[in-house]
């Protein structure tokens, strides 16, 4: 039985029994890992840690050949509850989480994606614009996935936003008019749909359709 301890972001919860949850997490060095948290349902302490995109410390046990690992000793490192409680960011959290579940392969190291997620959440906590943060996250995730074309392949209306996102940390990206952000969103949306063949389920909650 392999034993690993580290930090992770909570991405998805699925009930599997009256007491247990299947939980998907993004780890710092092992990408997306899926496992079981025993006794999580009805346990207030565990429930407070298992909030979407909350960063937790966790111990992971995995038996060779098992479909699911087992997660123990889950403790909050940095909560995302304040972002879930704000109207302007609440719907963005499931959108970011679904991106991570979709674009990060199981057991892929994904160190840069972990840093991206932490960076965007920190910027949102400090008051970054939610629309710009979403575009920042989309552009970098598409780049890490190898889907972002050369600049000449990007429509002119979206090119300035995409270029600015890749030059600076999120808090230093200049403000753009809503029209430019919508063009960048449409560009990222079309790349994503072409690659996946469908749209993310959480996209409709952003009110962009």
70-116 per-position pLDDT tens digit: 999 999 999 999 999 999 999 999 999 999 999 987 767 778 999 99
- Together in a domain, 143 and 169: yes
Partners of 85 in the β-ladder: none
pLDDT at residue 64, rounded to an integer: 79
CA-closest candidate to residue 142, choices 100, 174, 183, 201: 100
Q: What is the pLDDT of residues 52-70, one digit of tens each?
A: 999 999 999 988 777 899 9
pLDDT above 60: residue 205: yes
Same domain, 97 and 156: yes
Enclosing H/E stretch for 55: strand 55-62
- Domain identity same for 187 and 100: yes
Domain shared by 163 and 94, yes or no: yes
Give the residue from 96, 72, 74, 75 showing the smallest Cα distance to 84: 96
pLDDT tens per residue, range 171-195: 999 999 999 999 999 999 999 999 9
Task: Please give the average per-residue pLDDT across 138-155, as a whole number.
Answer: 92
**157 and 129 housed in the same domain:** yes
For residue 28, the Cα-to-chain-centroid distance in whole angstroms is 13
Which pLDDT belongs to residue 129? 95
User: In this structure, are 88 and 46 located in the same domain?
Assistant: no
DSSP H or E run through 183 = helix 178-196
- What's 99's domain CATH number? 1.20.1440
One domain, residues 63 and 91: no
Whether the CB-CB separation of 117 and 96 falls below 8 Å is answered with yes
Q: Are residues 63 and 90 in the same domain?
A: no
Please name the residues in contact with 16: beta carbons below 8 A apart, sequence gap of 6 or more. 22, 36
If you average pLDDT over residues 9-29, what whole number do you get? 93
Q: What are phi and psi of 39, to 5 degrees?
A: 70, 20
Shared domain for 97 and 63, answered yes or no, is no
Strands in 84-191 per DSSP E: none
Q: What is the pTM of this model?
A: 0.93
Q: Over range 136-154, report the average pLDDT.
A: 93
Give the residue numbers spanning the domain of 10: 2-79
For the chain, the domain total comes to: 2
């Amino acid at each position: 039985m392999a034993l690993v301890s580290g930090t992770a972001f909570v991405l998805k919860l699925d009930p599997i029994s009256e007491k247990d949850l299947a939980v998907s997490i993004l780890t710092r060095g092992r990408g997306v890992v899926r496992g079981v948290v025993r006794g999580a349902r009805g346990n207030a302490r565990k429930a407070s840690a298992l909030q979407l995109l909350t960063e937790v410390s966790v111990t992971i046990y995995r038996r060779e050949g098992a479909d699911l690992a087992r997660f123990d000793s889950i403790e909050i490192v940095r909560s995302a509850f304040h972002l879930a409680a704000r109207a302007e960011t609440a719907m963005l959290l499931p959108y970011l989480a679904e991106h991570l579940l979709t674009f990060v392969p199981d057991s892929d190291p994904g160190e840069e994606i972990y840093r991206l997620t932490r960076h965007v959440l920190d910027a949102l906590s400090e008051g970054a614009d939610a629309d710009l943060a979403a575009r920042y996250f989309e552009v970098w995730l598409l780049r890490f996935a190898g889907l972002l074309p050369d600049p000449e392949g990007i429509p002119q209306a979206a090119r300035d936003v995409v270029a600015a996102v890749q030059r600076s940390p999120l808090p230093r990206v200049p403000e753009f008019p809503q029209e430019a952000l919508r063009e960048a969103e449409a560009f990222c949306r079309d790349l994503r749909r072409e690659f996946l063949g469908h749209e993310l389920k959480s996209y409709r909650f952003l009110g962009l359709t």
